[in-house]
């Protein structure tokens, strides 16, 4: 077997592992620094706890899982956009404000959807 092939293959594996490593670092960095992400994380833990208590069905777990993962992923994207905007400009620029507000709006819309999903799953189990 060609040693160039092995070198490229091992670099790809190292690159893939590095990608996962840096992604986890990004999540933990944001979790330490971002208040809203901490709130979403605590809410996710509570939802999982109550999901276990109320014995959610597979379909309900699927919906809850998508809601939790989507919310956290979207909050991470919002954080990334905010950081990039802050990196690019320190002045008050209307487009910088719009970029941050639009990203926050996306988070808000998904947060409303997750509340609707949560209420539709958990309220019938409570009442």
Catalytic residues: 75
- The per-residue b/e assignment along 31-68, b for 16 or more CB within 10 angstroms, e otherwise, is beebeebeebbebbeebeebbeeeebeeebeebbeebb
What single-letter DSSP state applies at residue 91?
S
């Amino acid at each position: 077997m060609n040693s160039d092939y092995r070198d490229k293959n091992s670099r790809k594996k190292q690159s893939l592992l590095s990608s996962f490593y840096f992604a986890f670092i990004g999540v933990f960095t944001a979790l330490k620094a971002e208040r809203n992400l901490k709130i979403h994380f605590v809410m996710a833990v509570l939802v999982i706890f109550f999901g276990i208590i109320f014995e959610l069905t597979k379909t309900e777990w699927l919906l809850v899982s998508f809601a939790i993962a989507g919310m956290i992923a979207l909050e991470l994207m919002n954080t990334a956009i905010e950081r990039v905007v802050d990196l690019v400009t320190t002045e008050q620029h209307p487009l910088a404000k719009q970029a941050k507000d639009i990203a926050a709006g996306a988070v808000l819309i998904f947060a409303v959807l997750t509340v609707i999903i949560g209420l539709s799953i958990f309220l019938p189990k409570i009442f």
